[in-house]
Structure 1
Amino acid sequence: MSRKYFGTDGVRGRVGQFPITPDFVMRLGYAAGRVLASSDPAKRATVIIGKDTRLSGYMLEAALEAGLSAAGVDVLLTGPMPTPAVAYLTRALRAQIGIVITASHNPFEDNGIKFFSAEGTKLPDEVELAIEAEMDKPLEVISPARLGKARRINDAPGRYIEFCKSAFPNALDLRGMKIVLDCANGATYHVATPVFHELGAEVVAIGNHPDGLNINLNCGSTHPEGLCAAVIEHGADLGIAFDGDGDRVMMADAHGRLLDGDQLLYIIAMHRQQRGRLQGGVVGTLMTNLALEHALAAAGIPFARAKVGDRYVLELLAEQDWQLGGENSGHILCLDKHSSGDGIIAALQVLHAMLSQNMSLAALGAQLVLYPQVLINVKVQQRLDLTTPALQQAVQQAEARLNGQGRVLLRASGTEPKIRVMVEGQDGVLVQQLAEQIAQVVSSLA
């Protein structure tokens, strides 16, 4: 059964436009509360709500709180916290559901609602469908004596900081290392610096002054140019950039060269294989660079591709009984450390690999040379049929010219009205040319 409101990662859109309106979000909270209440009527349910630094988070937090209270569900408020922190706190505090108000890497005008299960993972399909079914029913406030209560978790940042540090070996520290952190003016602004500082590093923080409007604005993992420049300016050993809600990470070496999610995933995978700690193989996505697949195969490491989205990476990891997976955008899952993707924890795994092998990030990054990959996002006004003959012909012609030495991928964005055109191969000039040709065809059909 298809979902009516939920996308691949919760509910997302432009603030003030359906569905990101106070009335809809209140009903969403109420519906989620009703599902929780019906699952175990004998026990009072508790939900944790966190948010990133968007100005609209105040409005949506209040709406969710009202809806949940009307359904008789208690609420724990964390304030601004990374998405993976809410996943952790949901498990640690034995809440029935965790909710994060965030639009991740999108600009401040957007926002969204993400849900976590009691285990700190994405909600099962049947629960999302049950919530949607409740949305179509009348909102009937529970009796006044049974209304839900709300309180703030004042020690939420400290709990999460200690959790992140626990993912790094006790026998190692970061003393003598200078690290630039770009917090994207987002949810990691007050937790990332303490993690790396308390592990011994000298930290230079940028993108750590959110004002409600500047989240992801020319900073963070989606705009890493500032990070790369800051690493060189401060003579740092490396730089780490997160996105607005802290579940993505990119890193820059001492020369200001950027390493994306595929390269970081390779470093972690190879380190685990060398230590005999790699369980099974590695899961990537349809967007994963072909060079990573080839490099893992050369190392004897199994590799599988999921659909784009950490939800699907997680599902395939569970199916294969593997622990490591991720996306080139910087979502990296280390399931032996956390139940969800976590930018801070993924960065710590890379630092562990560096220290245990006594190698710089530049040296480790040089072990995987990515194939040229061009991604062009084409805006569309309405849903476009990707099987249109003209478009299929353009793709077939491009594949013929790549002659088995590359890939072409077309997909509709799950969060924006865009068609993503991706071409990769060993010949960078040809890849650029083919991507532009296909994008022109998409534009002509849009």
Structure 2
Amino acid sequence: MAEKLFGTDGVRGQANKWPMTADVAMRLAAAAGRYFRSDSQEHRVVIGKDTRLSGYMLENALTAGFTSTGMNVFLLGPVPTPAIGYLTHSLRADVGVMISASHNPAEDNGIKFFGPDGFKLSDDAEAEIERLLNEGVPPAQPQNIGRARRYDDAKGRYVEYAKGSVPRSTRLDGLRIVLDCANGAAYRTAPAVLWELGAEVVTMGVEPNGYNINQDCGSTHPEAAAEMVRQVRADVGICLDGDADRLILIDENGRVADGDQIMGLIAGRWKAEGRLANDTLVATVMSNLGLERYLNDMGVALERTSVGDRYVVERMLAGGFNLGGEQSGHIVMTDHATTGDGLLAALQFLAAMVETGEPASRLSTVFEPVPQKLVNVRYAEGRTPLESDAVQAAIADGEGRLGGAGRLLIRKSGTEPLIRVMGEAEDMDLLDGVLQRIVEAVEVAA
């Protein structure tokens, strides 16, 4: 039976269980190596990872698979996911790989592929790699086996690349910044960038031990950073996730701002400067209705995609747009990067603080959000709650009760065994009642 590996963001699962085993990783790398081998004299792949313990196992397995097909491997160590997109293209590699499960807990891991242009793979490319894996890849001749070596300059190159995303005149002198790196991939690079630009940096989540990535810290748990902002009287707080492709901001009062507010700010500034391509922002169906109203009021269109930054990027490339992202904090700026980059988005926000002299509280609240609520319901392996007649009836009833006063979005997570039940409405009592019935139906079917 053919193996179906790829989800909405690469291959992901619990470490040392299918598909996150050394065996699958090695065969996956061999298939990807065969798929990406070009006619160039040297075939290169760059491999980065976050700080999970299982990263060592998967890194070695991937290296074995790639070298077995004649690919030369550059091992970058812990680096942010966006660094892989940048360095794959910069180093003229045939393929880039990031070993990370992003914001998931430490026991999970994942494998993401980037093409030679630095962008994540299309569905067609992933399907072809799966086909090659299932058919089996013949190894290279002994004299053609690839080499592997550590590439120690990766972090320094990414630091300079990140600093170059804002004008040379931008300095952060006088700003006190709380930076939470989630004990993840950016624990060295992000503090270096902010410090070199002149900021006073109060770091958190910079002591990874293989097990504590995303644990009560980072963009999914900003409470500790918010408390630290208040405690040290910082000007702003920056929370990244485990692979640093997400950003959540905290203002000087400890108030948390999500990706919608950050996108709204950047879109407004770029629109005023004539930098927003086709006067359009690309976001997902999860983004708040308040963001759409704010953008429309200043002549900016909002195009929505399915959930997942890869779908945002695909629409951006197809439409010639240069700004997009997700409410969760993925901010994609194709003028600077090929995927979401939490640090680069933070630098755009910090540059706005410097240029306007406005506090973070004002810049991170550019629109009034429509009340929104999200409930995650975990389901058992093999179950399909969304196919339940009772769940579909509850959804239909909820849509009828909301009418034109709100909207519902119920979907299966692409990275975890969760059903995400989201709703928006001005009337929170009505919304709570609608969501409660749907959640109860999902729980029964889960």
Per the normalisation by structure 1, the TM-score is 0.96
Partner of residue 401, structure 2: 401
Q: Secondary structure at 2:125's aligned position in 1? A: helix
Query: Relative to structure 2, which stretch is displaced further, 320-329 or 367-376?
Result: 367-376
Encode CA deviations 1:186-240: one digit per residue, 9 max, x unaligned.
Answer: 0000000010111111000000000000000000000010111110011000000
Q: Percent identity?
A: 49
Q: Is 1:95 matched with 2:90?
A: no
Give the Cα–Cα distance (whole angstroms) in 1 for the partners of residues 90 and 101 of structure 2: 24
Match of 1:149 among 121, 142, 147: 147
SS at match of 2:135: coil
How far 1:383 sits from its partner (Å)? 4.3
Of 51-60 and 389-398, more deviation after overlay is shown by 389-398
Correspondence list, 1:263-302, <5 A? 263-280=261-278, 281-302=280-301
Letter in 2 for 1:215: I
Instruction: Map residues 158-169 of structure 1 onto 2, 5 A cutoff.
Output: 158-169=156-167
The letter for the 2-side match of 1:438 is I
Cα deviation, 1:40-62, whole Å, max 9, x if unaligned, reads 3x633100000000000001000
Of 123, 132, 146, which residue of structure 2 is paired with 1:134? 132
Partners in 2 of 1:432 and 1:160 — Cα distance?
Answer: 45
Q: Give the drift of 1:387.
A: 5.3
Letter in 2 for 1:80: P
Contact map agreement 1:3 1:129 (CA 8 A) in 2: no
Partner of residue 304, structure 2:
305
- Consecutive unaligned residues in structure 2, runs of 5 or more: none
* In 2, Cα distance between equivalents of 1:236 and 1:291: 28
Q: Do the aligned residues in 1 keep the contact of 2:162 with 2:344 (CA within 8 Å)? A: yes
Task: Read off the aligned partner of 1:331 and give its amino acid letter.
Answer: H
Alignment of 1:256-267 (within 5 A): 256-267=254-265
CA distance in 2: counterparts of 1:20 and 1:33, whole angstroms: 18
C-alpha separation in 2, matches of 1:153 and 1:20: 25
Separation of aligned partners in 1, 2:165 and 2:315:
23
Q: 1:35-434 residue pairs with structure 2 within 5 A?
A: 35-37=35-37, 39-40=38-39, 43-280=41-278, 281-381=280-380, 382-384=382-384, 386=386, 388-434=388-434
Residues in 2 aligned to 1:124 and 1:389: alpha-carbon distance in whole angstroms:
33
| 2:203 alignment partner, SS class | strand
Question: How many corresponding residue pairs?
Answer: 443
Distance in 2 (alpha carbons) for counterparts of 1:352 and 1:434 = 42
Higher mean C-alpha displacement, 266-275 vs 180-189: 266-275
Higher deviation after alignment, 18-27 or 428-437: 428-437
TM-score, length-scaled by structure 2: 0.96
What is the CA–CA distance in structure 2 between the aligned matches of 1:44 and 1:364, rounded to whole Å? 48
Q: Judging changes above 3 Å, is the alpha-carbon distance between structure 1 residues 139 and 322 closer, same or farther for their aligned structure 2 residues?
A: closer
Shift of 1:443: 1.1
Q: Which moved more, 1:421-430 or 1:383-392?
A: 383-392
> 1:266: how far off?
0.4
Which secondary structure state, in structure 1, belongs to the residue aligned with residue 299 of structure 2? Answer: coil
Shift in CA distance, 318/393, structure 1 to aligned 2, threshold 3 Å: same
State the one-letter code of the partner of 2:187: Y
Conservation of the 8 A alpha-carbon contact between 1:282 and 1:324: yes
Residue 393 of structure 1 aligns to which amino acid in structure 2? A
Unaligned runs of 5+ in 1: none
The CA deviation string for residues 110-158 of structure 1, in whole angstroms up to 9 with x for no partner, is 0010000111101133322221111123353322211000111111111
Question: 1: CA distance between counterparts of 2:307 and 2:317?
Answer: 16
The amino acid across from 1:214 in the alignment is N
Answer whether contact 1:49 1:77 (CA < 8 A) is retained: yes
Using the alignment, how far apart are the partners of 2:11 and 2:91 within structure 1?
Answer: 24
Q: What SS is found at the alignment partner of 1:192?
A: helix
Deviations 1:382-413 (A, max 9, x none): 34263544323322322233231211111011
* Alpha-carbon distance between aligned partners in 2 of 1:50 and 1:433, rounded to the nearest angstrom: 45
Question: Equivalents in 1 of 2:389, 2:136: separation in Å?
Answer: 46
The one-letter amino acid of 1:172's match is T
Report if the CA contact (8 A) 2:261-2:365 is conserved: no
